[in-house]
């Protein structure tokens, strides 16, 4: 159910489906690294005052359902999510830099789509089913 929120002088319900991939599609989002990535992303969202309401990965990419305010700029959210997570994961899992060759964790591109009350449940299920395939 889409959460309608109130700001000072405005009402909004903003949700995005965001997907990005590991550089060269390396299948590294498994086991403890996958768990740690999700913890890091939830902390970043909390620190930057937006909500990840659904999240799942499938070895070489991650899907997020993000709720935010009109003040959140999409490129800024993506930059903090990818930048901080990469820095912390490289620090905690130093072998990643060698495995990825050039020292970049994430592919520079990403997918983003707006979510409406008509598509939210479909997208939630799609994200939840990422590892079920």
Residues with catalytic function:
126
Q: How far apart, in whole angstroms, are the C-alpha atoms of residue 78 and residue 18?
A: 9
Residues 34, 11: Cα–Cα separation, whole Å:
35
Q: Which residues contact 23 (CB under 8 A, 6 or more apart)?
A: 100, 102, 104, 105, 106, 107
What angle, 0 to 180 degrees and rounded to 10, lies between the N-to-C axes of helices 31-47 and 74-92?
140
Alpha helices in the chain (DSSP H): 31-47, 74-92, 95-100, 120-128
């Amino acid at each position: 159910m889409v959460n309608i929120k109130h700001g000072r002088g405005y009402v909004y319900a903003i949700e995005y489906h965001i997907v990005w991939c590991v550089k060269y599609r390396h299948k590294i989002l498994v086991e403890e690294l996958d768990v740690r990535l999700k913890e890091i992303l939830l902390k970043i969202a909390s620190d930057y005052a937006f909500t990840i309401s659904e999240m799942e990965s499938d070895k070489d990419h991650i899907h997020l359902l993000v709720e935010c305010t009109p003040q959140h700029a999409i490129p800024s959210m993506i930059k903090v999510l990818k930048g901080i997570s990469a820095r912390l994961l490289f620090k905690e899992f130093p072998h990643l830099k060698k495995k990825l060759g050039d020292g970049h964790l994430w592919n520079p591109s990403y997918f983003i789509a707006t979510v409406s009350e008509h598509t939210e449940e479909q997208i939630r299920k799609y994200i939840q089913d990422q590892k079920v395939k």
